[in-house]
Structure 1
Amino acid sequence: MSVQEELTAPGPTGPLKGTLTLPVGREPLRSKTPVFLIVPGSGPTDRDGNSPLGIAAGPYRLLAEALAERGFPSLRIDKRGMFGSSGAVSDPNDATIARYGDDLLSWTSAIQERLPAENGARCVIVVGHSEGGLVALAAMSRSPCVCGLALIASIGRPLHDVIREQLRANPANAPFLDEANAALTTLMRGERVEGSTISEALRPLFAPEVQGFLIDAFSYDPVELAAQVKVPVLVVQGTRDLQVSVADAQELARAAPHATLALVPGVNHVLKTVSSDDPSENLATYANPTLPISPAVVHAIAQFAEKIMEE
């Protein structure tokens, strides 16, 4: 059982908003109990892990509820300019990895204020899912209250390499691969692609309004960032993830000085267990909020926190 409350933090022009999930009967928390800060993935992903682009699996909500059952509080957040945080900035597309990192700093301060520890700062474990892992990695050097980092289904290569691979993996993209590769190369140089020249099939990926974010995101190497992390790191990767590979997770775990790698058999990108390699069955789970989150994912994250508490 858990209780939930809305929490706010200062944003650039208005409040950032999220949901704090607390274990029933566990407050006040022990000073050593960490709080998980769940950082959402790419695009219009909300605090529950859902998106108007066809994702309704609710992985972040399910993770928060499962962690509460294990005695751990968590905060899941809406990105600046979106959903509950729509007033935080005027344009949600005017974002960079560093600006999202600024928001994480604001959230860690809000956690300290709401759940202060008796001695020193409250331990915060940042949980970055997918693109949220890159945001978390980039912000780590600026986050003094963070005592651990969990990277779930997070890329271990520059984003442009991942996009190329994902495009090649779908045979339907064959007619557009040359154009997509040219666009990626242009953005990697820090230059924009003329919107009127983009094929209709590629416009959702290379829309003019998101090109500034892509240019910025392409400049980061997750492995280089992981090598600089000084706190314990947990890398969680499902073996049936259609978007991020086991090789990505292995690269991150090799790079981080204090890393634990948890490969979870049969789990996909939205943290649900899939019984076969059939892509259609896998993708069907993206729209199924009743399918539970993988217990193995929850166990790995909770065990990681328990180990940090013992240190």
Structure 2
Amino acid sequence: MKICCFAVLLSLFMTSGLFADQSETIIKLETETGTLEGSLIVPNEKNSVTVALIIAGSGPTDRDGNNPAMKNNSLKMLAEALSKNGIATLRYDKRGIGESQQAVEKEEELRFEHYISDAKDWAELLKKDERFNRVIIIGHSEGSLIGMISARKNGIDKFISIAGPGRSADKTIIEQLKSQPPEALNIALPIIDKLRQGETVDGVNPLLYSLLRPSVQPYMISWFKYDPAEEIANLKMPVLIIQGSADIQVCEDDAKILAKANPNAQLKFIKGMNHIFKNSESDPMHNIPTYNQPDLPINTDLAETITDFIMKDNKHDQANSAAAKNRAAD
């Protein structure tokens, strides 16, 4: 199923007052299989600004960081915090999710490459917008891998990984299953091995059906073949890797793997931040409830760390751009 974006619809419907200094616009991206929808927040500044494309993590996670089972507003809060710091943001519902649900007719037709292509097309949309002087990609969790691949393909200015796994998805899933009863891992290993070989498996045990159901297996086969360490090693632009110390889904070792693969990358550990950017203890009894607390604010160091990384050299770049325009005018 080839995905190409031929038309971009900018739906200029402003949402009612986010803050006095920023506004939100609904953006629609037309593809061959349906419409994708996102939310663009642009600070009300006279000069062009940097824009960050925010890519959500795995599962049915929408543009705000929520899914049908939990609501935490993590990505929405991050977007709003960055916009208050003078950085525009575009976050979107991935195909098959939220307002982009109709872009996938059948789950078994979805491939990881579709997400890569979509991120690339969103980035191209932003690069053509004269309001923005630079385009940054921020990928969260699975969105980190999607982001780093799409960043390499269309000349993004900077890339940021938040809680991005450092190992391929099959290895990450196996590692996460080790915290479950041994039976779950024993059932999963033969299935994962088949998927690695490009073969689907029928008759999945009900214990793991939600994770390894037949309809999602083609997607997992396409996902397993990408190694985040290999992909981030290919990035030539400035890279920032962020990892929370209270993350119980992706560990600090993953961040270290990514940083080792790209020695030029900056590595930042944020104390007390969990997988969905909230302050928490590492104990699951305290950590997991934050996934369903939409009013709990995100860690303040996250937006500040990202802002410092994005804005570094930005004034210098703007001065050079202005000087170049003046020389061209002369």
Fold equivalence (TM over 0.5): yes
Residue of structure 1 equivalent to 2:217? 211
Who wins on radius of gyration, i.e. which is larger? 2
Say whether residues 1:175 and 2:183 are aligned partners: yes
Q: Which amino acid aligns with 1:302?
A: T
Note the C-alpha offset of 1:266: 0.7
Using the size of structure 2 for normalisation, the TM-score is 0.86
Note the C-alpha offset of 1:260: 0.6
Note the C-alpha offset of 1:168: 0.6
Say whether residues 1:41 and 2:57 are aligned partners: yes
Note the C-alpha offset of 1:86: 2.2
Structure 2: how far apart are the matches of 1:15 and 1:256? 35
Whether the 8 Å contact between 1:233 and 1:260 is mirrored in structure 2 is: yes
Note the C-alpha offset of 1:137: 1.8
Whether the 8 Å contact between 1:8 and 1:15 is mirrored in structure 2 is: yes
* Selected match of 2:250 from 226, 230, 244: 244
Using the size of structure 1 for normalisation, the TM-score is 0.91
User: In the superposition, relative to structure 1, how do residues 67 and 176 fare at CA in structure 2: closer, same or farther (>3 Å)?
Assistant: same
Residue of structure 1 equivalent to 2:130? 116
Say whether residues 1:151 and 2:161 are aligned partners: yes
Say whether residues 1:72 and 2:87 are aligned partners: yes
Alignment root-mean-square deviation, CA: 1.5
Tell me the alpha carbon deviations over residues 89-141 of structure 1, each in whole angstroms, 9 at most, x when there is no partner: 3235522222211111221222234x315xxx741110000000111122223
Structure 2: how far apart are the matches of 1:77 and 1:97? 16
Note the C-alpha offset of 1:42: 0.4
* Selected match of 2:121 from 106, 119, 131: 106
Note the residue ranges of structure 1 that are not aligned, 5 or more in a row.
none
* Selected match of 2:286 from 273, 281, 290: 281
Say whether residues 1:193 and 2:201 are aligned partners: yes
Greater relative CO, 1 or 2 (CA 8 Å, sep 6+):
1
Note the residue ranges of structure 2 that are not aligned, 5 or more in a row.
1-18, 318-330
SS of corresponding position for 2:307: helix
SS of corresponding position for 1:237: strand
Structure 1: how far apart are the matches of 2:190 and 2:174? 11
Structure 1: how far apart are the matches of 2:272 and 2:313? 27
Q: Percent identity, aligned pairs only? A: 35
Note the C-alpha offset of 1:88: 2.6
- Matched positions, count: 296
Structure 2: how far apart are the matches of 1:93 and 1:147? 34
Say whether residues 1:130 and 2:141 are aligned partners: yes
Q: Which amino acid aligns with 1:149?
A: F
Note the C-alpha offset of 1:11: 1.8
Residue of structure 1 equivalent to 2:99? 84
